[in-house]
Amino acid sequence: MSIRNFSTFVFKRFDEHRDRVAFIEATPDGVKPVLYREWTRDVQRLAMGMLDAGFEPGQRIAVVGSTCRQWLDVAFAAWLNGGVVVPLVSGRDRREVLRCLARAGCDWIAAESHAGLDAIRGQGDKIPDHLRWLSFEKLRLGAPAPNTFELPDLVETGKDMLKRGKLDVLAKRTYELDAAAPALVLYPLDPGDDPHGAYFGGGKLAVMLESLGADLQLDPADRTAPLLSLGWFVGTLMSLAVLTQGGTLVLASNARELEERLGELQPTILLTGPAWIEGQAHRWRERLEQAPEFLKKMDGNTEQRGLGRALAALGGNTARSLLYDPVRRDLGDHVSRIYLAGGRCPDEAFDVLESARLPVLGVWGLPECGISHMERLGSRERASVGRPVQGYVCKIADARGEERGEVLIRSDVLFDGYWDDTGPRAIVEDYLQTGVQGHVKSGFLFVE
């Protein structure tokens, strides 16, 4: 694929989808659809406001947050300005976050609230004076801290600049961006004490998202809910791939609200991690063990406690009425598949979801290669992470047949390097040395 740069690529795609729904948002007043043309207008206004605030091409902006739309607004506004987006998960240890910011050389830090920014700043610590801070929300009382901007104010500034005919300033900046210029820096979910950010040029990022989005096989009616944090690279890439395909994301002000309002939002696809599945399994056990039918059946036999034993004792019809049908209703009753990244689905939970007609599909990748594997409806193998995404090749080092060994990944969109020039993984003879052990069976990858 030949593109001029990442920003012109994605915004051309968004213009093609202009009359489609980009987001279904949970608001205090109910569910609100947002069309692509409405969303890109808002992003353009924010990009103008960031330009006015001094955001320059090549600057790195760390976006620390979970699943709200403002996360995506800031990321795409930065890309219009030629910025480099650094997704980070909120709620991490402050020292870990600061190491990631320093290693990526971040100039801007954006977070969901002023409290989130203050948690990163700390108290009494020496923070570089050049840093700029951006809060998604406005303070109700008082003035922001020095060098701190608020997203609603930047949008208003951008609206005023557009009225004064300043759009050509942003358009010229966007059009002149180099396709090979860095656009995204990805860290692992747990960066640790020695974090290394893998970076990608905009051209590679565009090709990666196009291939990943095609393999998602989205239907025009699909609504995708990212229960994964957008700060985790899997959540970032999966959500961006949905938008590249003109799909619809289901969002709320935070991850907890999104989960609580799934019944109202009615997603058809969920993107999640093992922690959410484990939390659901705990709720399922409680639901069963508190049901009168279960208590009567058990008659005090505590040995039957536990999800698997309880389901076996209850029988199919009772289990369906007590668990499988309510599970579907909890998730909006329209979910067609669940993508699970970051771990294996526990067997009991997998069986419950399968019985509730909620197929679980594995997803796997690393910051250095993006999402390289995923399962698809009609192409699944229990406990696998799927077959390679379009444009990826996988092999096991020095293995014959189904032997176990190091997973090696080849693709044209492997990372361009680590931002600080060093890191734990290398590309040798076109293959990424992942350091992960696994085996391949019938083309499906099983990681250990």
d(Cα 288, Cα 311) in Å, to the nearest integer? 8
- Paired sense of beta strands 337-341 and 248-251, if any: unpaired
CA 186, 210, 426, 434 torsion-angle sign = positive
pLDDT for position 318: 76
Q: What is the residue whose two structure tokens read 């043309």?
A: 37
Instruction: Give the Cβ contact number of residue 376 at 10 Å.
Output: 14
Task: Please give the backbone phi and psi of residue 85, each rounded to the nearest 5 degrees, phi first.
Answer: -90, 135
User: Residues 255-280, buried b or exposed e (16+ Cβ, 10 A)?
Assistant: beebbebbeebbbbbbbbbeebbeeb
pLDDT for position 4: 72
pLDDT for position 35: 98
d(Cα 136, Cα 74) in Å, to the nearest integer? 9
pLDDT for position 420: 82
Nearest to 409 by CA among 368, 443, 352, 379: 368
pLDDT for position 251: 96
pLDDT for position 312: 60
Nearest to 271 by CA among 373, 190, 341, 364: 341
Nearest to 278 by CA among 344, 366, 234: 344
pLDDT for position 296: 55
pLDDT for position 37: 97
In DSSP notation, 124-183 reads S----TT-EEEESS--SSS-PPTTEEEHHHHHHHHHHHHHTT-HHHHHHHHHT--TTSEE
pLDDT under 50: residue ranges of the chain: none
